[in-house]
Amino acid sequence: MSSIQPLSPSSPEYKAISSFNIIYEAGLDGDSRPVLVLSACHLPDPATINYDLILADEFVENDYVLVFFSAPATFRPPWLWLLKAYRALDRKYKKNLKALYVVHLVRSYRMIFDLANKITSPKFARKLHYYSTLQELYGAIQLSSQFIPQQVIQYDNQLPPVAPPRRTSVPATPARPLPSLAYGLSLEALAKQEDCEGDAAYVPSLVLRLTDHLRSHGLDKEGLFRKSPSSDELHYVKEALNRGEHVDLTRYGVDLTASLLKIFFMELPEPLISTQLCTDLGKLPDALACSPEEMQAIRDKLQEAYADKPLSRNLLRHLMSFLREVVEHVDQNRMNVHNLAVVFTPSLVREASAKVDSKAPSTQEAAMAAAAVYMKQMNEGMALTQFLISAGEQLFL
């Protein structure tokens, strides 16, 4: 199992995290939405920094969820500032925020949050969820402990155990979940399930169906892949597909189909693009100004990386070809190569399962390194995803 190594203090990622380790990305939730973490223990002295500058626009261009660890904290914004900031918060922050998970919030601040919701936005209140412990949070969202500050973990360990709710009746024995027929399976298992073993051109039927539907109904949808559907609808349709039931996708919005496609790649047991491949390829040239020699070198590395993974290579080729079709309608959907790389990279790029280390960081420096490494991996992954979308026809010959 590999462990995260601290980056060099001279690297830009380390400097960024060291200076503003207040809010950072921490993977995706079960609905393929980016997860941001805001830790009160990282809030600086308000005398030295304007709290209004903590959030940056790039975090809120897409739908996202926010986890706020409210304790421990040396500095806290005054409650009058909270009310003022809440009312002045730009609409896009509220609109694109789909869930706010608040952990370890003291009673007085919870009263302020509840009051603000009643006064300003009852609709926003439905997005707000309080949790007393990390264990309760884990029941709502999958968050790797490597992204949780050590101070938060230590604080949580000191809390008294939360008593489970008293039951007035004997709970029914939960039904054993049926095996999945669509999500979370390896490409080899899907090919066997669909009697396509040995088919060099195999692409999972679900992926073909989703991309065909988007091709027919979604290419002109502004912000395609950026918006999230109803979580209830998404889970309902996903489970129906897992049971092998027929689902009429035309009954739902294209945002649901787009999310189903991203989740398919996110839940593959092995990533379609490994972080090691991104590192091996290094800094990539501009796809539109790439020399024949540079293109051949990249093609050779891809061929080597996927030599023993023909199903992954074929699926990657199919996806990149479809995303190029999306880009061809950029005047209508506003999804250029960069925007598509932003929304797809977290679902496509991650460490191979054998190398994942989800242990909690032992020091604050380790937590900073984890966030910095993730940022570096996503930046490298975005560069490769953009290159594959732009130059895929020349790479997958």
Residue 306: pLDDT band with limits 50, 70, 90:
very high
For the chain, what are the domain ranges?
15-158, 187-395
What digits encode the pLDDT tens for the residues 78-101? 666 555 555 555 565 667 888 889
Nearest Cα to Cα of residue 255 among 32, 27, 100, 90: 32
Residue 224 confidence (pLDDT) above 50: yes
Peptide bond into 72 cis (omega under 30): yes
Residue 173: pLDDT band with limits 50, 70, 90:
very low
- The CB density around residue 73, as the number of other CB atoms within 10 Å, is 17
In this prediction, residue 367 carries a pLDDT of: 63
Residue 152 confidence (pLDDT) above 60: yes
Q: Which of 23-37, 141-155, 204-218, 354-368 has the highest mean pLDDT?
A: 204-218
| Cα 306 to Cα 57: distance, rounded to the nearest angstrom | 37
| Cα 215 to Cα 385: distance, rounded to the nearest angstrom | 20
Both structure tokens of 73:
């904290």
**Of 152-161, 210-219, 289-298, minimum mean pLDDT range:** 152-161
Both structure tokens of 116:
């603000």
Residue 296: pLDDT band with limits 50, 70, 90:
very high
What digits encode the pLDDT tens for the residues 27-36? 899 898 888 8
Separation in Å, CA 62 to CA 65, 91, 165, 391: 10, 13, 37, 25
Q: How far is CA 301 from the centre of its chain?
A: 27
In this prediction, residue 382 carries a pLDDT of: 94
Average pLDDT over residues 113-130: 73
Query: Domain 15-158 is classified in which CATH homologous superfamily?
Result: CRAL-TRIO lipid binding domain (3.40.525.10)
In this prediction, residue 156 carries a pLDDT of: 92
| Cα 247 to Cα 253: distance, rounded to the nearest angstrom | 13
What digits encode the pLDDT tens for the residues 13-54? 444 434 445 678 888 998 988 888 888 887 766 665 555 555
Q: What is the pTM of this model?
A: 0.75
In this prediction, residue 176 carries a pLDDT of: 47
Burial class of residue 107, CB neighbours in 10 A (0-12, 13-18, 19+): exposed
| Cα 50 to Cα 39: distance, rounded to the nearest angstrom | 16
**How would CATH label the architecture of 187-395?**
Orthogonal Bundle (1.10)
Phi, psi of 333 (to 5 degrees): -95, -10
In this prediction, residue 365 carries a pLDDT of: 63
In this prediction, residue 112 carries a pLDDT of: 67
What counts of helices (H) and strands (E) characterise the chain? Answer: 17, 7
Both structure tokens of 83:
């009310």
Angle at Cα 283 formed by Cα 277 and Cα 284, nearest 5°?
85
**Is 106 in contact with 71 (CB distance < 8 Å)?**
yes
Higher pLDDT, 61 or 217: 217
| Cα 21 to Cα 8: distance, rounded to the nearest angstrom | 16
| Cα 350 to Cα 274: distance, rounded to the nearest angstrom | 5
In 177-255, where do the E strands start and end? none
Residue 393: pLDDT band with limits 50, 70, 90:
confident
Average pLDDT over residues 3-10: 45
